[in-house]
A and B are shown apart, each in its own frame.
Chain A
Amino acid sequence: MKKRPPRQGMPKQEPSVRARNFKEVALGYTEEMAVAEASRCLQCKDKPCIAGCPVEIDIPAFIKKVSESDFEGAARILKQKNALPAVCGRVCPQEDQCEKVCVLGKKDEPVAIGRLERFVADWEAEHLKGEATSAMEKVWERRETPGGVAIVGSGPAGLTLAGDLAKLGYRVVIFEAFHKPGGVLMYGIPEFRLPKAIVEREIEYVKSLGVEIKTDYVIGRILTIDDLFRDGFDAVYVATGAGLPKFMGIPGENLSGVYSANEFLTRSNLMKAYRFPEYKTPLKIGKKVAVVGGGNVAMDAARTALRLGADEVHLIYRRSRTEMPARIEEVENAGEEGIIFHYLTNPVRIIGGVKENARGQWVRAIECIRMELGEPDESGRRSPIPISGSEFIMPVDIVIIAIGTGANPLLSSTTKDLPIDIRGYIVIEPETGRTSKEGVWAGGDIVTGSATVIEAMGAARRAARSIHEYISQKRAVLKTRIT
């Protein structure tokens, strides 16, 4: 029997080089590497990977096509279930999903499913300009529209739902508050982890299915959910993201030089401040930057600050590395690039001072306290307890707060009968995403709080089925009444 090749590593830019540019860190597989990796798949009967994928991609089938060098065939299988494969191949936490349950992973390393997904999506874009799969989907143009669906927010959940329902022939309109669609894929995740050209490409694919995207539409202001029903939509899907930055509530947080991660990343990613002054939106960097938090967003902010020219970037996290919610791969990448980690450390205040050539009080230092781990809290993680008397001061010029987001009340405050919990998140039936307001579904971070791209997409997939069922029934009833 032929010996199975080892799991193919991902070629990356050298840490010292990539820490100073915004080009993608991971370079992607070559065709040879992809075929070799695909040949590792056991093509087992149980296919636990499919159940491990929130959008239920037929993983063994697309991998088989790759192993046969039929990349076009692989792309078709991927896009049946996933409108955003190049995005998911890059940002999904596969180690917690499909790859976690891979049978091969029990004795060997699991198949690198995410890297293969990325390879296939990029191959299709490069060689076929996405035509193979969009041509296949063009059926909708000849079909009678079964109804209209309005989607609020064009992030991962909104785009997935749009793709699913457009394929079923629905008229789908997405309303986006920003001037560009993509939500967190555009404003949140940095270029070096998810190039914006790739996001734009996948959005073009969703548009090629017949989806209309209206930018600069802040639903809740320009139109309410009830206005959308009045305008003839049969159903509304709310996928606005969490979108309210949390601050710590410590002294000095409003000083000049303190950013929320949302603001810092939006300036750099969406507004392209990293290309200032060609792009006009500025961003302050300074020599020493402190990032507070331990999630993927904190890693993104820290690594962005480094690339923007900071001499030192300090990441401050109140628990230990084990409890850190960020993906291991991203923590490793950050470490290799030179981010300095301060575990079991928590800020207590930000200290201001006068800065040369600038008005008012600017960040000068951050005061922190050492922590130790106590009993597990409700999240199951051991809760951090401050060690009294261990305060110390770290001189910094910029502080970025990346401790998560809360629920943005803009939409719920203008839709009084939209059910929300005490924290402001929308309440749904978990299986369907349906809310108690007639015709309204919701999904993604505005339901779950900060989670992953793929979880939002999985929720959208379930909601799409439910919306399809709802509108089909509603129309059937109408039809009987008329005839």
Chain B
Amino acid sequence: MILIEEAKYLAPSVKWFRLEAPDISLKAQPGQFVIVRAEEVGERIPLTIADFDGSRFIELVVQEVGEGTRKINSLKKGDYFLNVAGPLGHPSEIDNFGTVALVGGGIGIAPIYPIARAMKQAQNKVIVIIGTRTKELVFWEEKLHSVSDRVIVCTDDGSYGIKGVVTVPLNELLESGERIDRVVAIGPAIMMKFVAVTTQPYHVKTIVSLNSLMLDGTGMCGCCRVEVGGKTKFACVDGPAFDAHQVDFELLLDRMDIYKNEEHLCQLAGKV
């Protein structure tokens, strides 16, 4: 049982949690994730760690996409997560690369933050691009400003910042001739796929953090297998970060959709 110290909605259906989890906080590094359960009958849900202080707490940002995440977001300050296991996965590779562009889409904005902070500490020039469907879904813009040189915001409907998806400003940045040494993208699989397509012609090393379905998160079940460079990898223990230009995104998208109909059934059952 893990206590929720603070919780609030950052945007409609996007909720932020600060959890009292000293053991996890102590070991957490940017890019790692936890697996949580909100209730006894609940699924095990992997969530990337959004922030941590290295001694006392971790933070998570959860978007309601189905029954399980809706249950999580019904939890309030003073409630408990039934289970939180982590930190899991390899940490992001942090080094002095030069100039890095960090791309966060939707809920993927949150895990970009600790990576930006670490990249900044490693003396990189940090450019952050964040994108959502519409203005009210944008969060942590100020927080990201504090750990980067530049923050570019875009919305699909143009209600805030640049009109368009994240690849629009990313492409402009690459075309502008500014040297970009590395791109890190976290967000919906389809966004990460198009980030990979965008950076490929420029031969910029691009890392994506894959949000595969998982059970145990320790390499025991193979549920999260992905193909990277033609080889089968487990996102939970070999990743979650991989070279975007090597990832088979079609397979990832297919496998993420395996239980689409069951998710629907679950929602129906939840409403009865």
Segment among B200-208, B211-219, B239-247 that sits at the interface with chain A: B211-219
The answer to whether A263 touches B221 (Cβ under 8 A) is: yes
Known A-B contacts A256-B254, A271-B44; A245 and B222 likewise in contact (beta carbons under 8 Å): yes
The answer to whether B253 touches A282 (Cβ under 8 A) is: no
> How close is B60's CB to chain A, nearest CB, in angstroms?
15
The answer to whether A263 touches B82 (Cβ under 8 A) is: no
Q: How far is the CA of A358 from the CA of B261 in the complex (A)?
A: 8
Q: How far is the CA of A218 from the CA of B23 in the complex (A)?
A: 11
Within B181-240, which residues are at the interface with A (CB < 8 Å)?
Answer: 215-223, 225-227, 232, 237
Residue among A218, A243, A410 making CB contact with B86, cutoff 8 Å? A218
Q: Cβ of B258 < 8 Å from any Cβ of A? A: yes
> How close is A321's CB to chain B, nearest CB, in angstroms?
28
Known A-B contacts A222-B23, A282-B263; A215 and B83 likewise in contact (beta carbons under 8 Å): yes
Q: How far is the CA of A440 from the CA of B266 in the complex (A)?
A: 45
Contacting residues, chain A, for B68 (C-beta < 8 A) = 280
The answer to whether A254 touches B251 (Cβ under 8 A) is: yes
> How close is B27's CB to chain A, nearest CB, in angstroms?
6
Q: Cβ of B141 < 8 Å from any Cβ of A? A: no
Contacting residues, chain B, for A262 (C-beta < 8 A) = 220-222
> How close is A165's CB to chain B, nearest CB, in angstroms?
24
* Residues of chain A whose beta carbon lies under 8 Å from any beta carbon of chain B: 177-179, 215-218, 221-223, 241, 243-245, 247, 253-254, 256-257, 260, 262-263, 266-267, 271-272, 276-282, 284, 357-361, 408-410
Q: How far is the CA of A282 from the CA of B83 in the complex (A)?
A: 19
Contacting residues, chain A, for B258 (C-beta < 8 A) = 256-257, 284
Residue among B85, B218, B250, B259 making CB contact with A243, cutoff 8 Å? B218
- CB-based nearest A residue for B32: A221
* Residues of chain B whose beta carbon lies under 8 Å from any beta carbon of chain A: 23-24, 27, 37, 41-44, 67-68, 82-88, 215-223, 225-227, 232, 237, 250-251, 253-255, 257-263, 265-266, 268-270
A–B Cβ pairs within 8 angstroms, 11 of them: A179-B83, A218-B88, A221-B86, A243-B219, A260-B221, A266-B216, A266-B220, A271-B215, A277-B266, A278-B41, A359-B257
Q: How far is the CA of A284 from the CA of B85 in the complex (A)?
A: 26
The answer to whether A282 touches B262 (Cβ under 8 A) is: yes
> How close is A420's CB to chain B, nearest CB, in angstroms?
15
Residue among B23, B85, B259 making CB contact with A223, cutoff 8 Å? B23
Contacting residues, chain B, for A247 (C-beta < 8 A) = 222, 232
Known: A254-B251, A282-B263. 17 other contacts (CB 8 A): A217-B85, A218-B85, A218-B88, A221-B88, A222-B23, A241-B220, A263-B215, A266-B221, A271-B44, A277-B269, A280-B41, A280-B42, A280-B68, A359-B254, A359-B257, A360-B251, A409-B219
The answer to whether A358 touches B257 (Cβ under 8 A) is: yes
Residue among B218, B250, B259 making CB contact with A282, cutoff 8 Å? B259
Contacting residues, chain A, for B220 (C-beta < 8 A) = 241, 243-245, 262, 266, 408
Contacting residues, chain A, for B268 (C-beta < 8 A) = 277
- CB-based nearest A residue for B214: A263
> How close is B36's CB to chain A, nearest CB, in angstroms?
9
Contacting residues, chain B, for A272 (C-beta < 8 A) = 41
Contacting residues, chain A, for B270 (C-beta < 8 A) = 277
Contacting residues, chain A, for B216 (C-beta < 8 A) = 177-178, 266
Contacting residues, chain A, for B44 (C-beta < 8 A) = 179, 271, 281
Contacting residues, chain B, for A244 (C-beta < 8 A) = 219-220
The answer to whether B255 touches A256 (Cβ under 8 A) is: yes
Residue among A216, A223, A254, A360 making CB contact with B232, cutoff 8 Å? A254
Q: How far is the CA of A245 from the CA of B219 in the complex (A)?
A: 8
The answer to whether B218 touches A177 (Cβ under 8 A) is: yes
Contacting residues, chain A, for B215 (C-beta < 8 A) = 263, 266-267, 271
Contacting residues, chain B, for A260 (C-beta < 8 A) = 221-223
Contacting residues, chain A, for B87 (C-beta < 8 A) = 221-222
- CB-based nearest B residue for A176: B85
Q: How far is the CA of A177 from the CA of B215 in the complex (A)?
A: 11
Residue among A215, A360, A410 making CB contact with B218, cutoff 8 Å? A410
Q: How far is the CA of A276 from the CA of B260 in the complex (A)?
A: 14
Q: How far is the CA of A103 from the CA of B237 in the complex (A)?
A: 50
Contacting residues, chain A, for B251 (C-beta < 8 A) = 254, 360
- CB-based nearest A residue for B224: A263
| Top 10 closest pairs, chain A to chain B, by CB | A360-B254, A282-B262, A263-B221, A216-B85, A277-B269, A260-B222, A359-B257, A179-B83, A243-B220, A245-B222
Contacting residues, chain B, for A179 (C-beta < 8 A) = 37, 44, 82-83, 85
Q: How far is the CA of A343 from the CA of B175 in the complex (A)?
A: 60
The answer to whether A254 touches B225 (Cβ under 8 A) is: yes
- CB-based nearest A residue for B41: A279
Q: How far is the CA of A282 from the CA of B44 in the complex (A)?
A: 11
> How close is B234's CB to chain A, nearest CB, in angstroms?
9
Q: How far is the CA of A260 from the CA of B222 in the complex (A)?
A: 7
Q: How far is the CA of A265 from the CA of B26 in the complex (A)?
A: 33
The answer to whether B24 touches A222 (Cβ under 8 A) is: yes
Residue among A217, A279, A357 making CB contact with B261, cutoff 8 Å? A357
Q: How far is the CA of A223 from the CA of B83 in the complex (A)?
A: 17
Residue among B37, B67, B83, B86 making CB contact with A222, cutoff 8 Å? B86
Q: Pick the most buried of A221, A257, A272, A357: most chain B CB atoms within 10 A of its CB.
A: A221
Contacting residues, chain B, for A280 (C-beta < 8 A) = 41-43, 67-68, 266
> How close is B119's CB to chain A, nearest CB, in angstroms?
23
